[in-house]
Structure 1
């Protein structure tokens, strides 16, 4: 159900005999709304909702699915809609972060930071049912708590090894959670945070990469002493959050490997191929774009292409330089 199992932990020994049905196939539909139930019971309301929004019936159904569907409580099961968000959307004829805004996951963010968690892993975390069902306050793995709180759900299953692949259930949770993370990782407060993302998106849409990188520099300013030891991960996490949020409005592909990040960002008019390095040079990063032929897939594309090499300096704890080739 997305309710954590703290109540079952040691203190309440009487509860140890409960039958935990969380991952039992016959109960997957007990706490949500299935696609079938939605269309069987609210078809008239779906048409009214579509009319109120000025979109087609099919478009509305697709949007509802993207925003509120996608919870899987075991492997190979149907997706479930979050009933709270779904019914609020019908009530107000608006798409909102209804469930996400009912609670703030500050505790989960502190857990991620405390254990120096690589945020990029959240969207593709793999684990087994024993870990998913565990709850141990001493554990260094924040994933069971995040899964049991409903911020991650089951996205795939490897039968041979009994491994579950996790990911965000839907756009409401993904966008809400990543937006919530930003002020905890970057030098920006909660009020300014949405406006900053809006400015980033405007800048990449208009081809103003210098303003974009200057804004990005301000996100790394005043990096605290604690993160210096985990410096590379800190850069990766901030970049991941920023580009994940920009990615809700543009197309973003983001890859990391030891000491470097390559990234492709696409808008209607521009394509940005970027390489980030830690303690190298921006020129080396740009050279790598050439050497690895990162721009080759876009050779026949009509949009304007920018190749950008970026270097982070451990000494200044910030972006030291970026070089651009058009």
Structure 2
């Protein structure tokens, strides 16, 4: 049957040898692996969001340092590496140490050490985990005659759930600091030490002894080390794009544009190629359909709680300008939500000014934007599932140019859904409207500057640009007058789309839209 011999996509497979020995697609990163392992520093840290290929990279390094040349046949490193020396590798996956108290965490670390002590032995008097790790490294070096490689994947996993807890964080952090403490003393026996994680903890808090770790997370030369570029998609995944195109009923180029809109847009350095989320991309190609794969794979409950703690409203999540120290910063002592949003992958670098040294940060793509907004709905209404239905029906009406029908539908639904608390201020309704319009899947912006003021909201569909002004307990006519008075549509003369002006008035008494006014602004020209 056609398709049985196609190459497979490694969904959930994080072991390099399994991918290479099976018939799986692999985006070749081994030229960067070679550069990384022959750089000036042998202590290296890389931060990337969850499910972005950190574990596969760590596994690739393990196979490389074990000298498994056969796995790298046909890859870039085959032409670069001449020796293929086999080193003893201690590979610790800390993702198994989540949601643990101090005692359980120590037991988990001991179990990881036992696996390697079965191979290299355990010295007399080695009781604590730091003593045992130090002994392991030294014996592995003595028994093999080769320097040891230490790979620590998701080093921060035991700490993520308690990162802002004053009671538990110091306790678990001390356990991990104690475990990692021998690395500096073992320097003569070490060839390479590599750590991955999501968050950047302050160096002194975890690696108090190891002060020479090189953080390559924002190095342009390693920007594509995790994630997948469009070039790699075109080279390796053409068959998957063709199948996706058939399922979507579009051309392969249109299918690629859909993948780009939903899963592309990450930059972890500047300059950098666009980086696709590998988890979502591979799932979409394997399943032949667009869906919310990455966002749906882990409900960001903790993130939503932190957004609430820092009083971040939906329209403030993206569109930030800041220096690197504001987002590439330790999360356990952060004073804003920005480091957590960036390091977790909910915002990413979109631009950089060398003059001001400011980075432009924003939500990377449609999947993340819609996933975030859907997660925020419970902040505004008590039955968010009913709004999901509303959004789907509104999207169809707005796509067909029926803004009147969409607002009528919204008024009816909002009047029947119990609101959450704090609804007697204008911002609540503006935020709710922003969330709903964002969920429609179109471009939405708020507080857009014009020569004579700010537009409350701009909604751009493929065929129309809506300039929207909101009022609370006033009138739709007052909203429309403000649009006309400040000549808001003139700001968008170059967009090339017909402009429609929309004035909306919310009623705090009725807790829904009380009225609206819609006027065709025509196709403006310069």
State the shift of 1:272 in Å: 5.7
SS of 1:156's equivalent? Answer: strand
Higher mean C-alpha displacement, 67-76 vs 274-283: 274-283
In the superposition, the TM-score normalised over structure 1's length comes to 0.81
State the shift of 1:73 in Å: 0.6
Structure 1 residue aligned with 2:411, among 190, 209, 213?
Answer: 213
In the superposition, the TM-score normalised over structure 2's length comes to 0.52
SS of 2:356's equivalent? Answer: coil
Q: Is the 8 A contact 1:75 1:156 kept in 2?
A: yes
User: CA, structure 1 residues 137+79, in 2 after alignment: closer, same or farther (shift >3 Å)?
Assistant: same
State the shift of 1:255 in Å: 2.9
Work out whether 1:321 is the aligned partner of 2:514. Answer: yes
Structure 2 residue aligned with 1:186, among 361, 375, 380?
Answer: 380
Unmatched 5+ residue regions in structure 2?
Answer: 1-47, 50-196, 520-526
Q: CA RMSD in A?
A: 3.4
Kindly report which structure 2 residues correspond to 1:150-299, keeping only aligned pairs within 5 A, or say none.
150-183=345-378, 185-202=379-396, 204=398, 205=400, 206=402, 207-208=404-405, 209-217=407-415, 221-225=418-422, 231-246=425-440, 248=441, 252=444, 254-255=446-447, 262-265=456-459, 273-278=467-472, 280-294=474-488
Q: Is the 8 A contact 1:175 1:245 kept in 2?
A: yes
User: CA, structure 1 residues 325+32, in 2 after alignment: closer, same or farther (shift >3 Å)?
Assistant: closer
Q: Is the 8 A contact 2:464 2:497 kept in 1?
A: no
Q: Distance in 2 between matches of 1:264 and 1:114?
A: 28
Q: Distance in 2 between matches of 1:40 and 1:243?
A: 36
State the shift of 1:169 in Å: 1.4
Count of aligned residue pairs for this structure pair: 314
- The superposition leaves residues 239-283 of structure 1 with CA deviations (integer Å, 9 ceiling, x where unpaired) of 22112112x15x6554368x9863355679987654212454444
Q: Distance in 2 between matches of 1:294 and 1:76?
A: 34
Unmatched 5+ residue regions in structure 1?
Answer: none
SS of 1:308's equivalent? Answer: strand
Q: Distance in 2 between matches of 1:53 and 1:323?
A: 36
Q: Is the 8 A contact 1:270 1:303 kept in 2?
A: yes
Q: Is the 8 A contact 2:473 2:505 kept in 1?
A: no
User: CA, structure 1 residues 118+191, in 2 after alignment: closer, same or farther (shift >3 Å)?
Assistant: closer
SS of 1:22's equivalent? Answer: coil
SS of 2:385's equivalent? Answer: coil
User: CA, structure 1 residues 30+271, in 2 after alignment: closer, same or farther (shift >3 Å)?
Assistant: closer
Structure 2 residue aligned with 1:23, among 203, 207, 218?
Answer: 218
Q: Distance in 2 between matches of 1:305 and 1:161?
A: 37
Q: Which has the higher contact order (CA 8 A, sep 6+)?
A: 1
Higher mean C-alpha displacement, 31-40 vs 200-209: 200-209
Q: Is the 8 A contact 1:203 1:211 kept in 2?
A: no
State the shift of 1:236 in Å: 3.0
Q: Distance in 1 between matches of 2:461 and 2:345?
A: 32
State the shift of 1:157 in Å: 0.5
SS of 1:172's equivalent? Answer: helix
SS of 1:164's equivalent? Answer: strand
